[in-house]
Amino acid sequence: MDHEASMNAALAATSVENCYQCGKCTAGCPAADEMDFMPNQVLRLVQAGDADTVMRSRAIWLCVSCLTCTTRCPQSVDCAGVMDVLRQMAAGQETVPPDMQRIKVFHRAFLDSVRRHGRINEVELIMQFKTLGFLKDRNMRLLMKDALLAPKLIQRGKFHLQGESVRDRAVVRRIFDRCMPRADRARRATADKDSASGGVV
Ligand code: SF4
Ligand code: SF4
C-alpha cells in the first residue's frame, strides 16, 4: 500500500471530509505558532491526499495532543486523532524530519515505560530518552540538560526515584500486543531481552 492509500485507510474512521476550513482548531491550538502547517492546513492536506507533505511535516510532531482542536471543531472532526494517526504513520515509514527525531524518541521512551509498568517510571523514561537521543545526534547538551532541576523536583515531590508498577502488568502487555504492529512487537521483544541482560533499550 502506498503512503496515500495507507493514510486514507487509517483515517477512514474520522470525518476529515467534513472540515470546511473555519480555522477554529488553529485558533485554539497552543502549538500552532511553532508549526510549519497549521492544524486546519494539515486537515486540508489530508483532504487533498497529499500524504508525502503531511507526513514529512513538523506540525504532527509539535502537536501536544491537548485535544483543544477536537473539542472546538463545529464539524466534530477529530483533528487531534488525525494528528495521532499521522504521527504513527510517519514513525512507521521513517518520514520524521531530522529536527523532530528527539520527539519521536520521547514518544517511544514514554510508551515503553507504560508498556513495562502500566505507568510511567520517571527515572527509566529519562534514562532511555537521554541515551537514545544522544545516540541519535551525539549532542552532549541533551545528556546534561535539566540535570540541575532534578534535586528541586525531587524536593517538591514532582520527580520520583522509586518507580511503581500496576499490579496486573499482563493486562497492559496484552493491550500493547493487540495494538502494536507485528514488526514492532518483534523489535520490542529483542529490546526487552537486552534490557533484562543489562543493556539500554
Ligand atoms: S475547526 Fe474543524 S472544521 Fe474548522 S478548520 Fe478545524 S477541523 Fe476544519
Ligand atoms: S491536539 Fe495538537 S493540533 Fe490539536 S490543539 Fe492540541 S496541540 Fe494543537
16-44: per-residue pLDDT in tens? 999 999 999 999 999 999 999 999 999 99
* pLDDT, tens digit, 9 for 90 and up, residues 121-135: 988 998 898 888 888
Report residues whose beta carbon is within 6 angstroms of any ligand 2 atom: 28-31, 39, 63-69, 79-80, 83
Taking the C-alpha atoms of residue 201 and residue 192, their distance in angstroms, rounded to an integer, is 7
Position 177 confidence tier, pLDDT thresholds 50, 70, 90: confident
Residues 6+ apart with CB under 8 A from 88: 10
Domains of the chain: 3-92 (1.10.1060.10), 99-196 (no CATH)
Report how far ligand 2's centroid is from the alpha carbon of 129 (Å). Answer: 23
Q: How far apart are CA 87 and CA 64, in angstroms?
A: 11
pTM of the model: 0.79
Q: At what angle do helices 3-10 and 79-92 cross, to 10 degrees?
A: 140
Confidence (pLDDT) at 178? 84
Ligand 1 atom with minimal separation from the 76 CA = 2
Percentage of residues of the chain with pLDDT beyond 90: 41
The ligand that comes nearest to the alpha carbon of residue 39 is: 2
